[in-house]
Structure 1
Amino acid sequence: MIIKTASLKTMFALGIGLLVLQGNSSAAPVPGGTLDPTTIPKYVTPLVIPPVMPKSTTQPGAPAADYNIAVRQFKQQILPTGYGASTVWSYGRAQDVLPANFTAPAPLANNISFNYPAFTVENTSGAPTSVRWINDLVDANGNYLPHLFAIDQTLHWANPPAKGCSDGTNHTDCRTMNPAPYTGPVPMVTHVHGSHVNAESDGYPEAWWLPAAQNIPAGYAKRGRLYDQYNRTNAVPGSAFFTYENNQPATTIWYHDHSLGITRSNVYAGPAGFWLIRGGANGDEFVDDGTTAAANDGRLPGPAPTANGGDPNFDPTFRATIREIPIVVQDRSFNLDGSLFYPANRAFFERLSLPGQPPQSGFTGILNIPYIPVSDISPIWNPEAFFNTMVVNGSTWPVFEVAPARYRFRLLDGSNSRTLNLALFQMNGLVQGPEVPFYQIGADQGFLPQVVKVQTGFATPLPGNGTTPVPVAAPNPQYALLMGPAERADVIVDFTGMADGTIIRMTNTAPDNPFGGFPDIPADPATSGQVMQFVVRAALTQPSDALTTPPQNLVLPAEGPLGAPVKVRQVTLNEEESTQLCVKVDAITGSVTTIFNTPGPTFAATCAAAGGMPMAPKAAKLGVFMTDPVTGVKTMSMPMMWADAITETPAVGDTETWEIYNFTVDGHPIHLHLVRFEVIDRQPFNVLTFATTGPAIPPKPTELGYKDTVIALPGMITRLKAKFDRAGLYVWHCHILEHEDNEMMRPYVVRFNLNMPDLNGDGKLTIADVLILLRQLGSKTPSKFAYDLNGDGKVDILDAVLLLKKVLAQPAPPII
């Protein structure tokens, strides 16, 4: 069954049972806080260029880390000058002292590196980087800071109180039956998204920790169930020590919080930044100009900000030299005082208000239903969240003055739920003029095989010989530079030859609702349909601008394909409706009320007979197929919970193809931790019979490089291929953060290969391998799950016996 993530009010307005779009067909801002987005001036705040994160020069304790990075609370001027500053959280160098009146962004001369988004961490391919991540969400007195937003404890979440689990037990990392918002200390764990990294440093959702506050309530757990560190000698309170090998090609990745069941709220508060990897065999140094005989003589736009350079925001002379800039686009809503707005109740998602309370955002109808523990619907969680301003590098609708030259922008969709469809247009006053193309050179995990010229309706690979072929049509004429949440696009924009004062506007024509493919209704053109603006200034020209290579000449140092897969794994995407709460919608007011709230085997039929429908969505879930034990034929998609037994268990070194069947009408940006994958194709299928209904559709040219996140479109099988080359416990999930936080995330284990369980990597099976496994039996770290050799979901003496038998079965060494 395909279930559309739409409000019940909208579904009833357009006809029960129809698959509809959430939102109005007329142009209007999406609802939000008390600040009307149409009153906010656009293109008056200069774009903030993220500086480079400085390395630590002092240490809070042993062992020494390259970076000691803390997350703290502070104010930032996100809205234009004259509006209230917003309270945010973000990362910065831990040794930097925040004064009581601090408001970001601030000059680098102040020696304060806290900013939203966080400063960029620069890395070199093949050179490890160590970070001590510090949860420093405490006030000036050392007391913990509560969350900025309402936190739903009825989801499967970190649960620091360690009590009240829905199964009657008391522990962390569970779903509770407590409908009250959580007001305690905030858990954090940082994940470097796209990093090929050891499991201990991956930022596993149950590896969170609390700040070292002096008033942690009695009985609270200070760490998650699977807290771990790369260097376990670290004992600095409120921290974890991670090391990133950076053993992957040059690319644009990013870091953000990943705590279980609370990621949407933590990330919305601000903590995220770019993590750039440079150099290596596939680095910028190996870009070629295909029109010359010389090798590796291509030159990309640069420079980028550097650790020892000038201030890219408060030093105009230095700012004028910058030609490479990371840009994160996010949607946010605000209140009149400048504070960030995030929905505090489920009624907001339904575009309704709560009984007995003042209307919210002008909604006149009422959502009058019971929640957990009375029903099975969470009281605060919103299935998706869309906001009515566009925030770029921490400022609403900024402007950036550029030279008539080529620029390199590393774009990131950092939104919770919103997909972006970006394009550039010259503006003649208020009239949209000619389109300016993006030249995409890279995606999530490094360079594309060819530069792709992207314009609305077209995505044309360039041969790299100085010519531009006939434009290649995109799958739908609405396609521009499409990016789902967490996807990146490394692009060149060529402002060469443009007259002084030329204005270029970046627009967004993806919908103000969950993306399910085109055609769709574009975002509100007055608010979320505008992103930022560029103004050409000839005075900013630098002598080096003439040295960059035209994008149509570039030959990129992309990697070759993976080998053949050893396994094809089939997984599913699902959305769940209530199995006990039957509701009806008033055709005039849109109010949603309860018909009955009783579970049972005839619930669905009884609800339909009563003229109602199940309250939905209840959750979003990943799953697997159930099969007939005799014939092996697929019988149904089985949605799985976070806590269910692990079903994805590739062996170390295996290359697998994953076939992702999407049974919903949302496009889900699916992210696999650890691996870099190839998108193979997409193919339509029948959601009732599971049979394919058409030919496989190759990936778009912009998807031909290695990726770590892919939009799995509705009613389609999305196939990807990855090599799982590190043992350990990781996760895969939808990167719509509201989905991820309510069950659309599952652990997976890369197990040691049963055929050759060489645990110490010396190329032999010996007693030394058995001793390594025995030491894991009492471990509570994520890495232990890789030692489940017999695949029973446990690491115990049976695995050790199995390994010992294999060791003893080895042929005796020759006698010399």
Structure 2
Amino acid sequence: MDKYNRRKFLSYSLKGAAGLAAISLVPFGVNKIFNNNGMMYGNDSSGLPFSGGTPLPVPPLLKNMSSIPSKAKFQLSAQIAKTEFIEGKETDTYGYNGNYLGPVIRVRKGDEVSIKVKNNLNEETTVHWHGLEVDGENDGGPHSRIRPGETWNPKFTVTQPASTLWFHPHLLHKTGEQVYKGLAGLFYVDDDVSDNLKLPNEYGVNDIPLVIQDKKLDANGRFEYRLGMHDVMMGLQGGTILVNGAVNPYLEVPRGKMRFRLLNGSNARIYELLFSNNQNFYQVASDGGLLEQPVEMTKLVLGPGERAEIIVDFSMFKDGDTVELTNQGTEFMKFMVTGNKQQDFNIPNQLTKIERIDSSKAVKTRKFIFQGMGSNVNINGQQMDMDRMDEYLTLNTTEIWEISNESTGMMGGMAHPFHAHGIQFQILDRDGKQPPANESGWKDTILVYPGENVRAIATFKYPGIFMYHCHILEHEDAGMMGQFKVE
């Protein structure tokens, strides 16, 4: 795929892109196969036909153990469990404070946060706060190992704006397996700006999290983390899509506007999300918080680790109508519209004001090149080494990071999602061109296509050791990761 078509693939989701509605493009790293009935699955034959028969589970909010204003204390436990993805059939899983996935941690900007993380697994783990701007000691990278039976207690003050972040393990060579087994949860930040917008904000009622993942489920409803050659090359992808840990879920929605916070929590799959009736929706936030203006869209591309907040209007439907959320047109979740009407929410033209980082203030431009395939994946020709520091940065300085993808060999190469710890970026350009409107806000995970060059800018305000890596977890575990130190 040439650069022109790659750019179309990235931006054609924006409404008004002439002639793109009929294009059916498959993201790099996403293979399709068909069964005898023509049902499209992932790169294995384990997919379950969509039925829309399971009520969507909504993760609980984790209780704040502190009664003191602006202080938040939480307790989190990584534990071994069993989960039924198919009724009556169990599989071995991991979970935070439960059988699979975890609760939502919700805090406010300015809160002093303390989280006691107990490891009740039979192996080491870590907990990384993906997207949170904190110092290296509290970031939860591979240096912050928690041994079985031990507790880790990170403490930090939340300084960033309202956003939908998440947390997951980051143990060296084991991140993919532990996330796949179920260790992941959402981390919400609220602030006065988001409160005053009066967008749907009632958790579990009109503000719903959607953690989207794929699994290789066998006929007995089990999955195991076993990597074949294709999984090593492209990352582990399964034929059954889960939402909040449920197969084929449905959600009853009123006639009105709903807010959905989407996380691509998959190990490797890139999603191309659209509704079965091709209706429009508005993206109001990206990884690190609100966009300046809402972006009207019909399709949304999310790479592993990326998040998006969208507003969907169901007011045009009648009682009993249904609409499906699809990946490349294949249904995996159903919305069932009830006759109830809810409070009308007006989406403001201005959501927030984002102070642009002046590129002339950048003291350095660093280059990060994705290279290699399979077990040879690397960044800048090097694989992860815990005893080697790859980059040294000066605290409170601004830099431009230029991220390139040279994986253009086999089948045209594949996209790599770039993630850096402890920082939020602003994308300057893609191949010298302005990024799409829904990438104009804060980003911590950036999808980079084969042959593409992306420039992003950030000011590094927190000291410590941090990771940068591909967020295809099998690539990260294979060594497509490096370390930077801010001091």
TM-score (norm: length of structure 2): 0.87
1:276 is aligned to 188
Match of 2:257 among 388, 391, 406: 406
User: Do the aligned partners of 1:286 and 1:557 also contact (CA within 8 Å) in 2?
Assistant: no
User: CA separation in 2, counterparts of 1:199 and 1:257?
Assistant: 15
Greater RCO, CA 8 A, separation 6+: 2
2:127 is aligned to 190
User: CA separation in 2, counterparts of 1:452 and 1:49?
Assistant: 26
1:417 is aligned to 268
Query: Equivalent residue of 1:118, what SS?
Result: coil
Q: How does 1:231-380 map to 2 (within 5 A)?
A: 238-280=150-192, 283-287=193-197, 299-305=198-204, 322-344=205-227, 346-347=228-229, 349=230
User: CA separation in 2, counterparts of 1:30 and 1:489?
Assistant: 23
User: Do the aligned partners of 2:50 and 2:332 also contact (CA within 8 Å) in 1?
Assistant: no
User: CA separation in 2, counterparts of 1:644 and 1:446?
Assistant: 34
1:453 is aligned to 296
Shift of 1:537: 0.5
User: Do the aligned partners of 2:33 and 2:43 also contact (CA within 8 Å) in 1?
Assistant: no
2:435 is aligned to 699
2:410 is aligned to none
Give the gaps of 5 or more residues in structure 1: 3-19, 58-63, 93-113, 138-143, 145-185, 213-237, 288-298, 306-321, 351-380, 427-434, 456-479, 510-524, 577-616, 624-637, 684-695, 752-816
Read off the aligned partner of 1:446 and give its amino acid letter. G
Shift of 1:567: 1.2
Shift of 1:382: 5.9
CA-to-partner distance for each residue in 1:767-808, whole Å, 9 max, x for gaps?
xxxxxxxxxxxxxxxxxxxxxxxxxxxxxxxxxxxxxxxxxx
1:373 is aligned to none
Match of 2:138 among 194, 201, 206: 201
Q: Which consecutive aligned stretches of 4+ in structure 1 deviate over 2 angstroms post-superposition?
A: 20-33, 75-79, 335-338, 341-344, 638-647
Shift of 1:648: 1.8
Shift of 1:191: 0.5
Shift of 1:501: 1.2
User: CA separation in 2, counterparts of 1:648 and 1:21?
Assistant: 29
Match of 1:503 among 301, 322, 328: 322
Shift of 1:650: 1.6
Shift of 1:250: 0.7
Match of 2:382 among 639, 647, 651: 639
Query: Equivalent residue of 1:558, what SS?
Result: coil
Shift of 1:570: 1.5
Shift of 1:37: 2.7
User: Do the aligned partners of 1:124 and 1:246 also contact (CA within 8 Å) in 2?
Assistant: yes
1:37 is aligned to 47
Query: Equivalent residue of 2:54, what SS?
Result: coil
Shift of 1:117: 2.4
CA-to-partner distance for each residue in 1:390-416, whole Å, 9 max, x for gaps?
100110120111000100001110000
Confirm or deny that 1:575 pairs with 2:372. yes
CA-atom RMSD in angstroms: 2.3
User: CA separation in 1, counterparts of 2:453 and 2:50?
Assistant: 43
Q: How does 1:26-105 map to 2 (within 5 A)?
A: 28-30=40-42, 32=44, 36-38=46-48, 40=49, 42-56=51-65, 66-79=73-86, 81=87, 83-92=88-97
Query: Equivalent residue of 1:268, what SS?
Result: helix
User: CA separation in 2, counterparts of 1:530 and 1:41?
Assistant: 6
2:403 is aligned to 660
1:14 is aligned to none
Shift of 1:667: 1.1
Deviates more, 1:407-416 or 1:491-500: 491-500
Q: How does 1:752-763 map to 2 (within 5 A)?
A: none
User: Do the aligned partners of 1:572 and 1:639 also contact (CA within 8 Å) in 2?
Assistant: no
Confirm or deny that 1:395 pairs with 2:230. no
Give the 3 Å change call, closer, same or farther, for CA 491–729 of structure 1 in structure 2.
same
User: Do the aligned partners of 2:42 and 2:239 also contact (CA within 8 Å) in 1?
Assistant: yes
Shift of 1:198: 1.8
Read off the aligned partner of 2:157 and give its amino acid letter. E
User: CA separation in 1, counterparts of 2:335 and 2:31?
Assistant: 30
1:432 is aligned to none
Read off the aligned partner of 1:655 and give its amino acid letter. T
2:331 is aligned to 530
Q: Which has the larger radius of gyration?
A: 1
User: CA separation in 1, counterparts of 2:442 and 2:452?
Assistant: 21
Shift of 1:443: 0.2
Query: Equivalent residue of 2:201, what SS?
Result: coil
Give the gaps of 5 or more residues in structure 2: 3-27, 408-412
1:557 is aligned to 352
User: CA separation in 2, counterparts of 1:442 and 1:24?
Assistant: 30
2:377 is aligned to 620
User: Do the aligned partners of 1:620 and 1:744 also contact (CA within 8 Å) in 2?
Assistant: yes
User: CA separation in 2, counterparts of 1:204 and 1:86?
Assistant: 28
User: CA separation in 1, counterparts of 2:114 and 2:484?
Assistant: 25
Confirm or deny that 1:678 pairs with 2:414. no
User: CA separation in 1, counterparts of 2:257 and 2:138?
Assistant: 37
User: CA separation in 2, counterparts of 1:136 and 1:22?
Assistant: 34
Shift of 1:67: 1.5
Read off the aligned partner of 1:119 and give its amino acid letter. P
Query: Equivalent residue of 2:377, what SS?
Result: strand
1:211 is aligned to 148
2:5 is aligned to none
Give the 3 Å change call, closer, same or farther, for CA 640–56 of structure 1 in structure 2.
same
Read off the aligned partner of 1:657 and give its amino acid letter. I
User: Do the aligned partners of 2:42 and 2:240 also contact (CA within 8 Å) in 1?
Assistant: no
Identity of aligned residues (%): 30
Query: Equivalent residue of 1:277, what SS?
Result: strand
Give the 3 Å change call, closer, same or farther, for CA 676–30 of structure 1 in structure 2.
closer
Shift of 1:713: 1.5
User: CA separation in 1, counterparts of 2:295 and 2:406?
Assistant: 31
Query: Equivalent residue of 2:365, what SS?
Result: strand
User: CA separation in 2, counterparts of 1:120 and 1:659?
Assistant: 33
Give the 3 Å change call, closer, same or farther, for CA 271–565 of structure 1 in structure 2.
same
Query: Equivalent residue of 1:70, what SS?
Result: strand
Number of equivalenced pairs: 446
Read off the aligned partner of 2:93 and give its amino acid letter. V
User: Do the aligned partners of 1:424 and 1:436 also contact (CA within 8 Å) in 2?
Assistant: yes
User: CA separation in 2, counterparts of 1:405 and 1:78?
Assistant: 31
